[in-house]
Chain A
Amino acid sequence: MDSGEYEHDMASREVCANGVCMKATDVEAKLDEGNIQEAESSLREGLSLNFEEARALLGKLEYQRGNVEGALRVFEGIDLQAAIQRLQPSLVEKPPSKKGRTRTESQHAVSQHAASLVLEAIYLKAKSLQKLGRLTESAQECKSVLDAVEKIFKQGIPDVEVDNKLQEIVSHAVELLPELWKQAGWHQEAISAYRRALLGLWNLENDCCTRIQKAFAVFLLYSGVEAGPPSLGVQIDSSYVPKNNLEEAILLLMILLRKFHLGKTKWDPSVMEHLTFALSVCNQTSVLAKQVEEIMPGIYHRVDRWNSLALCYSGAGQNKAALNLLRKSLHKHERPDDLMALLLAAKICSEDSYLAAEGVGYAKRAISNAEQQAEHLKGVGLHMLGLCLGKQAKICSSDFERSRLHSEALKSLDGAIALEHNNSDLIFDLGVQYAEHRNLNAALRYAKEFIDETGGSVIKGWRLLALVLSAQQRFSESEVVTDAAFDETAKWDQGPLLRLKAKLKISQSLPMDAIETYRYLLALVQAQRKSFGPFRVNPQVEDDKFNEFEVWHGVMFEGRGQTQEALGTYIGAFLVDPHYVPCKILLGSLMLKMGSDALPVTRSLLSDALRIDPTNRKAWYYLGMVHRDDGRIADATDCFQAASMLEESDPIESFSSLY
């Protein structure tokens, strides 16, 4: 009813009981004179009520016309606790036998009538206090409603036997209590009240239960108050019991989603947003993907769903799945201009040489769309374009094409940095691109800038600087940088730095120092294996590749002269990753020793290696050997020359190992 209508009806309001009615305005007039007693006695006489009934009605009248202070005064005149005491025996004695059924039922009806009268009075007292801002007192009153109900109905509220009025008050009180504690700042009480609401037998209707579940999930997620696990008393064997806030919130939100899937509640978009937040914050976007997939069609537009799923999969490291979804959503009949999707697709493609060409397309579309939609994202588009072009150059078969792509990549990245001058990721990528292009001075400048921009907080920045210096054959400076990096790194993260340092020692013809450093590295690896269980995460150290292990195994066989074993191991590693360059080269160098029959295979292996990594000095060298053994002296000379030129600008470890 809208308020105008309500005003109009004010005059026709009535107070009724025992089949008699009185005009509400007559009673209110007495109340307005400040005379509660008189109002009360007129009700008692006019409607044949006892004292408590009359007071309860008066309080409700005051409450409904918005005079909460008046209502409170009326309610304070009733000893509600005594009334509760009186209520208890009559109901508790309820015999469970079937024989005396009719008698107990009628007794029930009377008692329930009395119970709901008292409980409603207490509840309205709580509401009045709430409206007056006296939250703690309000919560205490509200709690006493629930305590009373628990005393009266020891077995929980029965489904059928309770009249609507009583059930309504109970449901209201159950829902209100945690909100009151929460607003009054009594956080632990709020948590207990929420759990009491959800775990008690209150016979709540679905919507009410849904509201409480959602409110509790929100409280758990955002209050910052750690709830602690629920008490042992409520835990049931073999059922899932959440042990912290995030788990409990996620559980409740998933239950809410399931209720929706089962058609038990209305769709509430905020539930999905809360769940998205919770699951992303705890790195579980793959679980989130499952939840998004289960949402029925018609809730989200399909493109939105695809894009959300792509984000989920990408967040979980499943980039292939993400890209497949983005391809669908970026199709010309769907939403081809979505900037976020274009950028994410380009980023995913930029990590794989074989997808890089596709990524170039996405990045170019992103750039032209950014110019219209969001200028600030143009730099990101250029950045992605540069990465994709650089990656594309790696698998390019012609030298001419490769150098064209390389310089375009650099042009894009330079364009990006003009727009995003302090984007550290971009600075790093520029450093690597220049280094791979053997523009070592520019690479050095960006490597230094990256370390400044990040305050030396990213290990790969230190490694880039050290590698660039080593490519400039400035080994001792490179070692100084490596040592500085040690100071900024915790012990467990020093593995890659130790390896770098050992190689630097070798380059400086200090093999004994190198051995010493390798010994540290070995000790570190062993200690790491012992110390860490499955929970160890190290965001800054790349996974040790299984292949590298295999290859080293092969090197050892080869060193011992066990050619066949070495060959077997290399081929094994080759099968695991056919694009792994060090393996191709080792295999090539080994087969080179196996006579002229193996030369064609060796040649194709090494050419392949050079296609992937055209600046690989060793590949050029061995290819030169192949040409020499085959009698192509001019070709051999070219290869050796390339190898020797590269040696002058060869980093101690490949620049691509930085990613």
Chain B
Amino acid sequence: MSNNTATFEITVAAGESAPPSNSFSKTDEAIRYLSTILPSIPSSLSSSSNPSLSLLHDPEISTHISALLRRPSAGTGDDNLCRWLYDAFQSGDPGLHLVVLRYIPLLAGAYLSLATLWRPLAGFEAILLALYSHETTSRAGQPVTVNVPDMSHPSLYHESTSPAKNNSTALNLSIVSPTLEPHGAVRSTRRARIVGVALELYFGKIHEMPKSSKIDFCEFCRVWAGDRDDDRNKQSDPSRVGEVNDSEDGVAGRRIPLPWELLQPILRILGHCVMARWANDKEVFDAAKDACRSLHVRAVHDTNAKAILAAESLLRLGNMASLELTNEDEAADPTEIPTTNILTLN
């Protein structure tokens, strides 16, 4: 593989044209290239029956990749790992897509922290733009809208008490994700939107993401929100390989502006981590609750009403869930048959 990555350029019309076949060979090739970037690769990977799934969940791989992404010098145009992630996404292989998305929390975290230092981050930006243009293509640039139901009209799930009038209802139409314009480069005023779209994609696959990826995300939320005791926590945590404790350097993360285009997908991801208990364990839940608390404090600092409402309701739901967790043994399972002393046929 050539090292001539200085001319690392962005192909805007994502690599969807590639045939969907030979996903195995694509993954094999990706693994082969990855082995030239990482210090070591577990041998189990190539013998796995589903290599991209192993790539997604292997703890050793993720430790190595995370360490590389957290380097202060990460994300430049000649960063081989960025090149690998970019190629993996452009391969069009769904399994490799998931692998790339898995690192979006770390990537977005490092990127947003470093971007304010005016560092050249073409490597990070190429990946984010690839995700953005992928979404632009698949949505044909169209916005995602929500038409909030009016209860006085019947719906799929309910009948209306008042007789249905014609379609003259006042619709409450709102935009959840605005129109996507093609971007060939990250202009700083569009940075939040481009990262926001990557986070929207992450949310769409969050049920397939490993736990450590979600925890990374929750930790960055606290940093972005400007949680003050964060630096202390991070420095005492020995598991953060390769991280510099030099806060001037920005790699440990910093408080960033949180416009709605960023905050909204952040809140939805945290919503998953707090509420999708069938998919997450206690560790994710606790990390997400901490992140919600930080974001709520931040929302009050910004006196941002919408953010206060959303973060506060997540926090309350988290507290209710904690209570349910502690009382789980006592809680009655409504699908359990009643226990009786006299067993009869009917």
B10 to A: closest C-beta gap in Å: 16
B18 at the interface (CB under 8 A from A): no
Chain A CB within 10 A, most for which of B179, B274, B297, B303: B303
B1 at the interface (CB under 8 A from A): no
Say which size band chain A's interface belongs to. Answer: 35 or more
Report A370-424 residues with CB < 8 Å from chain B CB: 376-377, 379-380, 384, 420, 422-424
Residues in A neighbouring B307, C-beta threshold 8 A: 280
Of A456-464, A510-518, A610-618, the one with at least 4 CB within 8 A of chain B: A456-464
Known: A340-B300, A535-B178. A113 touches B342 (CB 8 A): no
Known: A242-B149, A277-B310, A458-B257. A270 touches B320 (CB 8 A): yes
User: Are B164 and A239 in contact, with the CB atoms below 8 A?
Assistant: yes
User: Are B181 and A492 in contact, with the CB atoms below 8 A?
Assistant: yes
Residues in A neighbouring B188, C-beta threshold 8 A: 455-457, 488
- Which residue of chain A lies nearest to B321 when distances are taken between CB atoms in the complex? A270
Residues in A neighbouring B260, C-beta threshold 8 A: 539
Known: A282-B146, A377-B300, A540-B189. A24 touches B343 (CB 8 A): yes
Residues in A neighbouring B254, C-beta threshold 8 A: 422
- Which residue of chain B lies nearest to A532 when distances are taken between CB atoms in the complex? B179
User: Are B300 and A284 in contact, with the CB atoms below 8 A?
Assistant: no
User: Are B178 and A487 in contact, with the CB atoms below 8 A?
Assistant: no
The CA-CA distance from A274 to B176 in the complex, in Å, is 17
User: Are B257 and A251 in contact, with the CB atoms below 8 A?
Assistant: no
- Which residue of chain A lies nearest to B261 when distances are taken between CB atoms in the complex? A539
* Majority secondary structure of chain B interface residues (helix, strand, loop or mixed): mixed
User: Are A456 and B310 in contact, with the CB atoms below 8 A?
Assistant: no
B267 to A: closest C-beta gap in Å: 6
Residues in B neighbouring A241, C-beta threshold 8 A: 155-156
The CA-CA distance from A250 to B157 in the complex, in Å, is 12
User: Are B226 and A422 in contact, with the CB atoms below 8 A?
Assistant: yes
Q: B245-288 toward A: CB 8 Å interface, digit per residue (1/0)? A: 00000000011010111001001100110111011000000000
User: Are A455 and B267 in contact, with the CB atoms below 8 A?
Assistant: no
User: Are A493 and B189 in contact, with the CB atoms below 8 A?
Assistant: yes
The CA-CA distance from A452 to B116 in the complex, in Å, is 6
- Which residue of chain A lies nearest to B309 when distances are taken between CB atoms in the complex? A280
Residues in B neighbouring A347, C-beta threshold 8 A: 303
Of B43-51, B68-76, B129-137, B204-212, the one with at least 4 CB within 8 A of chain A: B204-212
Of A11-19, A32-40, A573-581, A622-630, the one with at least 4 CB within 8 A of chain B: A11-19
The CA-CA distance from A282 to B271 in the complex, in Å, is 14
B100 at the interface (CB under 8 A from A): no
The CA-CA distance from A218 to B206 in the complex, in Å, is 15
The CA-CA distance from A535 to B172 in the complex, in Å, is 13
B346 at the interface (CB under 8 A from A): yes
Residue in B187, B313, B346 whose beta carbon sits within 8 Å of that of A165 in the complex: B346
A240 at the interface (CB under 8 A from B): yes
A638 at the interface (CB under 8 A from B): no
The CA-CA distance from A236 to B271 in the complex, in Å, is 32
B192 at the interface (CB under 8 A from A): yes
B143 at the interface (CB under 8 A from A): yes
B289 to A: closest C-beta gap in Å: 14
A649 at the interface (CB under 8 A from B): no
Residues in A neighbouring B172, C-beta threshold 8 A: 284, 286-287
A659 at the interface (CB under 8 A from B): no
B235 at the interface (CB under 8 A from A): no
A296 at the interface (CB under 8 A from B): no
Q: A173-200 toward B: CB 8 Å interface, digit per residue (1/0)? A: 0011001001101010000000000110
User: Are A240 and B155 in contact, with the CB atoms below 8 A?
Assistant: yes
- Which residue of chain A lies nearest to B304 when distances are taken between CB atoms in the complex? A315
Residue in B154, B174, B207, B346 whose beta carbon sits within 8 Å of that of A223 in the complex: B207
A276 at the interface (CB under 8 A from B): yes
B228 at the interface (CB under 8 A from A): yes
User: Are A172 and B149 in contact, with the CB atoms below 8 A?
Assistant: no
Residues in B neighbouring A235, C-beta threshold 8 A: 156
User: Are A254 and B151 in contact, with the CB atoms below 8 A?
Assistant: yes
Known: A251-B157, A487-B187, A488-B189. A454 touches B147 (CB 8 A): no
The CA-CA distance from A540 to B188 in the complex, in Å, is 12
B329 to A: closest C-beta gap in Å: 11
B306 at the interface (CB under 8 A from A): yes
B316 at the interface (CB under 8 A from A): yes
Residues in B neighbouring A242, C-beta threshold 8 A: 149, 155-156
Of B26-34, B57-65, B332-340, the one with at least 4 CB within 8 A of chain A: B332-340
A539 to B: closest C-beta gap in Å: 7
Q: A94-130 toward B: CB 8 Å interface, digit per residue (1/0)? A: 0000000000000000000100110010011001000
Residue in A12, A123, A281, A455 whose beta carbon sits within 8 Å of that of B264 in the complex: A281
Residues in B neighbouring A183, C-beta threshold 8 A: 278
Known: A277-B314, A281-B267, A312-B309. A535 touches B143 (CB 8 A): yes
Report B157-213 residues with CB < 8 Å from chain A CB: 157-158, 164, 166-167, 172, 174-176, 178-179, 181, 183, 187-192, 203-207
B115 at the interface (CB under 8 A from A): yes
B153 at the interface (CB under 8 A from A): yes
User: Are B303 and A490 in contact, with the CB atoms below 8 A?
Assistant: no
Chain A CB within 10 A, most for which of B146, B149, B207, B276: B146
Report A219-236 residues with CB < 8 Å from chain B CB: 219, 221-226, 230, 234-236
- Chain A positions near chain B (C-beta within 8 angstroms): 1, 6, 9, 12-17, 21, 24, 49, 53, 56-57, 60-61, 63-64, 113, 116-117, 120, 123-124, 127, 163, 165, 168-169, 172, 175-176, 179, 182-183, 185, 187, 198-199, 207-208, 211, 213, 218-219, 221-226, 230, 234-236, 238-244, 246-247, 250-252, 254-255, 258, 269-270, 273-274, 276-277, 279-288, 308, 310-312, 314-315, 322, 339-340, 343-344, 347, 376-377, 379-380, 384, 420, 422-425, 452-459, 487-490, 492-493, 532, 535-537, 539-540
| A-B contacts, 16 listed (Cβ < 8 Å) | A1-B339, A16-B342, A21-B342, A169-B337, A199-B156, A218-B275, A224-B206, A238-B166, A240-B149, A270-B320, A276-B309, A282-B176, A284-B148, A315-B309, A376-B297, A492-B181
- Chain B positions near chain A (C-beta within 8 angstroms): 115-118, 143-151, 153-158, 164, 166-167, 172, 174-176, 178-179, 181, 183, 187-192, 203-207, 226, 228, 254-255, 257, 259-261, 264, 267-268, 271-272, 274-276, 278-279, 297, 300-303, 305-310, 312-314, 316-317, 320, 334-337, 339-346
In the A-B complex, list the 10 residue pairs whose CB atoms are closest, starting with the nearest: A455-B116, A314-B305, A224-B206, A240-B155, A315-B305, A315-B306, A280-B310, A276-B313, A456-B188, A222-B275
Known: A273-B316, A425-B302, A455-B118. 16 other contacts (CB 8 A): A163-B346, A183-B278, A250-B149, A273-B314, A276-B313, A285-B305, A286-B172, A287-B172, A380-B303, A423-B301, A456-B188, A487-B187, A488-B189, A489-B187, A492-B181, A539-B261
